[in-house]
Amino acid sequence: MLLTPTTAILETDHLSREVAGVRIVDNVTVTVPTGRVLVVVGPSGAGKSSFLRLLNRLDEPTSGAVWFEGHDYRQIPPRELRRRVGMVTQTAYLFPGTLADNLRFGPLQHGIELPARTIDALLTEVGLEGRSREDVAHLSGGEAQRVSLARALANEPAVLLLDEPTSSLDAEAKDEIEKLILGVVRRKQFTCVMVSHDLSQAARVADQIMVMNKGRVTKIGAVSEVINAEGVLQ
Amino acid sequence: MLKEFFNNQLTLGCAQAAVAALLALAVMLLARQRKIHLERETIVALIRGIVQITAVGSILVLLLRGPAWTGIFLLAAMIGAAARISADRAKGLPHSFHVSLYAIAAGAGSVIALMSWVGVIDMRITSLIPIGSMLIANAMNTNSLVLNRFRSEVESHTGLIETGLALGADAKQTVAPYVQSSVQAGLIPAIDSLRSLGIVWIPGLMAGMLLSGASPIYAAIYQFVTISMIFSSSGLTSLICSLMIRSSVFSPAEQLALRPGVTAAGIRHNS
């Protein structure tokens, strides 16, 4: 089940997580090559988000290993690992305050005061130029998700985990955010692992698709190998 | 009215207890009408309360005749029981018994020890036990409130806490606002007791001192002393509790151990 290109930034090796006797992630071995987008699809309850949470160690694997930049990630301090493996969640949880406060948060945890010009550049990147002093309480769902993406980027991660970042948005905002994410990912050559319910979205965004069901990987490969011309799983 | 029917003190006490319990049951039924179900908890608490206080009363009769050092064991047992009761209020919160035990022991225990050493609390067992129990009971209430509030705060802010963790924040820092609000909420009863002393509330200890012939001014001053000690022990308990709980909800790898999104089967709703 290994992906084809050679330079791997993130690898999992028989990764499993068991909670209360149930294997919610079961024996997943996958390699995510540098600069590629792996989209994880599958029905509700398949273990997609649970798998993603293991990659930045928000949850602890029961067995197996995760290798980040060639190191067993348990050897890396969790806070440093999470800075390097950024995450954008389905709901944009923003801290009370301004957009700038939210963008400063991550770097501040590591003693870095983000300069105003970097904040402006990040906000421009996500289409919110000139709004750094605005209170997050006044943002729409789509705008909040843009801030969430910019905040993750402020940490300069090497890998970006996206947990259904458009599923809680309306159709218009969903399209905008998807284009924005795709643009940022392609422009910056980000390595990305994205969870999606939407097969057509997966086909648009992915270099590789991994199908999960009941915690296990049932199929993995290039888009054309996993989804047929009608947009249905093969 | 009851005194007309019961001449014996023991039977009168039983009758008074029955009437008081009936009133509590009536309140419970009133709550039930409003679909607030307290039946089981109220009945268990009433039965438990009468059994416990009668048993303690019987033991006290024996202890009060014994040497002062036996009081230390009784106070230690009270602290253990208080920690158990308090931990039950925070089901699902990891290590809640140990947190409660250390917090109440250090909070109430240190105030009892210091005040006894200085001479504010009389070392005689007849004084040490009632005052010590007041401090422990109030520390327990504060501890329960802090634990309960903290659990609710963490459960309702899981998204923000995990967002902080995912951005590389120190785990303790991600729950700091909720620790602060829990301590403030936990201390409300102790602060209100101090504020309302003498105006809204003339506690039992003062009434007891007056009945036993103490000077009203001294009884009043000593009541202030007691309420101040209650505030100190509750405050210390809540501070120690807050220091311990902020790390108790995280694993060594700084993962949030208390998440409402996990069902009994351990499966996240959004997976």
Q: Is residue A124 part of a domain?
A: no
Shortest alpha-carbon distance between residue B153 and chain A (Å): 15
Confidence of residue B52 (pLDDT cuts 50, 70, 90): confident
Q: What is the pLDDT of residues A132-183, one digit of tens each?
A: 999 999 999 889 999 999 999 999 999 999 999 888 778 778 888 888 888 8
Say yes or no: B262 contacts chain A, CB-CB below 8 A.
yes
Q: Is residue A117 part of a domain?
A: no
Interface test with B, best of A16, A50, A216 (most B CBs within 10 A): A50
- DSSP, collapsed to helix, strand or coil, labels residue A79 as helix
Confidence of residue B271 (pLDDT cuts 50, 70, 90): very low
CA atoms of A192 and A189, how far apart (whole Å): 9
Number of separate domains in chain A: 1
Say yes or no: B177 contacts chain A, CB-CB below 8 A.
no
- State the Rg of chain B over Cα: 22
Q: Chain A residue closest to B254 (CA)?
A: A78
Chain A hits for B176, CB-CB cut-off 8 Å, are none
Q: Is residue A58 part of a domain?
A: yes
Q: Is residue A192 part of a domain?
A: yes
**ipTM exceeding 0.85, yes/no:** yes
Say yes or no: B256 contacts chain A, CB-CB below 8 A.
yes
Q: What is the pLDDT of residues B136-184, one digit of tens each?
A: 999 999 999 999 999 999 999 999 999 999 999 999 999 999 999 999 9
Q: Write out the residue range of the structural domain in which residue A188 sits.
A: 8-92+159-226
CATH number at residue A207: 3.40.50.300
The predicted structure's pLDDT at residue A229: 61
Domain boundaries, chain B: 1-63, 69-248
Q: Is residue A200 part of a domain?
A: yes
Q: Is residue A141 part of a domain?
A: no
Q: Is residue A212 part of a domain?
A: yes
Q: Is residue A12 part of a domain?
A: yes
Amino acid, single-letter form, for residue B100: S
Interface test with B, best of A58, A90, A149, A195 (most B CBs within 10 A): A58
Pairing of strands A63-68, A71-72: antiparallel
CB A25 within 8 Å of CB A53? no
Say yes or no: B169 contacts chain A, CB-CB below 8 A.
yes
Q: Flag whether pLDDT at B13 surpasses 90.
A: no
Helices (H) and strands (E) in chain B, counts: 12, 0
